[in-house]
Structure 1
Amino acid sequence: MLQGQNFLKETDFTAEELTYLIDFSIHLKELKKKNIPHRYLERQNICLIFEKTSTRTRSAFSVAASDLGASVEYFGMTDIQMGNKESVEDTAIVMGSMFDGIEFRGFKQTDVETLGKYAGVPVWNGLTDEFHPTQMIADFMTIKETYGRLEGLNLVYAGDGRNNVANSLMITAAILGVNIAIAAPKELFPAEDLVKQAQAYAEESGAVIRLEEDIQKACQNAHAIYTDVWISMGEEDLMEERINQLKGYQVTAELFEEADDQAIFLHCLPAYHDLKTSNGVYFKEEFGLEEMEVSDEVFRAPYAKQFQQAENRMHSIKAIMAATNGHLFVP
């Protein structure tokens, strides 16, 4: 069904295709837990290109490829000439001639699109400044594992509504028929053209898209409350401004009193919820904050599913790679 396709952004896929990937992820997770082999990429070679550092994305692609029978070669930006001595197009042609699939995690969406255009093998977007599509399969997989369904559920994203996670959540929710509220200050609402695109999908799926400055209102009857770090990669010079804008959008236990009784907390990680990191100590010293986008109470609560969500990155990435490059037999 998806054989040979790139996985660059959510809008390239139908609701049925995204649902298939979510369900296939759940299936592959069960196979993994039962230690049943599923080596759909036997003897393949996979290239991982990372402009941005990562814990979960790199681990997920590496373990997923190994489980699928493929070998992995990692390239940090000091290991490759792309964009410096060699164009993205030329790099794509060369890498595509040697590898069976390419993952890219970096800044520009146009770079991953160029790789996808010229590589001649499937290219997977591990994150760009605009979208984070592999994260979405894991996120909605986690929600579906909790509720057994997606359509008609209420999802809230609290924080910077312009970042890649917020963009992808809004679009994916609209495609899948999940209601979504973006809780953010008005100046950090998603881009207008993206909102219009999401609303067009929502008209087809029946989803409701809301932009809310009032976070408590946004969280009423929520089935999942999702947040991300307040300062995105590349915006470190705007740290003080972002913190001042988003202080009122911390996810706290009080917000879950507004939510559904079975509501879950989601976070794509890393999270600044305590002082056990050097960054956490820095935020305390500079801004007087011991917790940032989520309180430690919520982060450690029974309803917090961020570590299940993190594990699901591997299962979902495995599904994406297998479905696009694994020659699956799907009757």
Structure 2
Amino acid sequence: MQDDFFGGAPPPPPIAPRNTRTSAVHPQPPEDALKRLALTLPPRLRLGTSSWTYPGWQGLVWEGEHSDTQLSKQGLAVYAQHPLMRTVSIDRSFYRPLTVSQYERYASQVPDDFRFVVKAPSVVTDALVRSEDGRGRQPNPAFLSPELARSECVEPALQGLGHKLGALVFQLSPLPLAQLDRMPALLDRLRAMLRALPPLAPLAPDGVIAVEVRDPEWLTPDFAAVLREAGATYCLGLHAKMPPLQDQLPMLRALWPGPLVCRWNLNPVHGPYGYEEAERLYEPYDRLHHPAPETRAALAAVIAGTTGRGQNAFVTISNHAEGCAPLTVRGVAEEVAKLAAR
């Protein structure tokens, strides 16, 4: 380095401070206990969360502060490096169908053994057309449309994700009373839609079609028969609108043997219409507010029973389950590990 006119070396350039809101997203280095926990879990279990764009997961999933916009672009690849996260629910597909190229971009960001849970678009799964405030207003003529289910959901996800597709979930939103009174006709429409879907196995050997409901009136032997006939399964939905986990187990038993698909959506302390209340209370989703140890233990038992007999388990957890999805995932993993150690 050339000396300056006064005979000394020039001072080094100042180091610019790292702007944590604009820098690249980096994974939070996992503690040894977390890595050991991951190694104890069944290989067929894929735990994860609903989406990945939450700045409040700083110190749990990623280092530093980042905006939700930045995390939507860079967060998935970092999320997939977390020792426990082997799946994630793509929830945005519920609000607008995604393209093959969008699914391909997701698939390119995760390891080979990662599997996605994909929500089918509401244009197919809502009995009512939603207004701008998200509420159903008028009958939806495309409800349970076989053509739209195939073209707007199954085919793009299958082509874009390939073998990384885990579960395609058709979440049937709460039905108006007039339709609940015509359940046999609804079951016929559901059967027709499910039977029209292309098989997943050629491109996605682990792939499964699952149906989640938000009305307990669906939980009948006739519903189970429709799912079995179509080669689909029931999505165990832990939500305040639905009965407790134990009361939904007869559906799983009726479809056994088969994979487990579970979505833990909303803590019952908020009631069936408490999503917005949970959102206000739990944001920024950085800690547990309402731990539910009984639900964790019950879910772990179902997971252990399913994977212990050679079946896959896809379990995704929302921030609205207990307040912080990554911490709930860890809690469920610890319960599964306890059962494995017995």
Superposed pair shares fold, TM > 0.5: no
With the length of structure 1 as denominator, give the TM-score of the two structures.
0.30
* Larger Cα-atom Rg: 2
With the length of structure 2 as denominator, give the TM-score of the two structures.
0.29
Greater relative contact order (Cα < 8 A, sep 6+): 1
Q: Which has the higher helix share?
A: 1
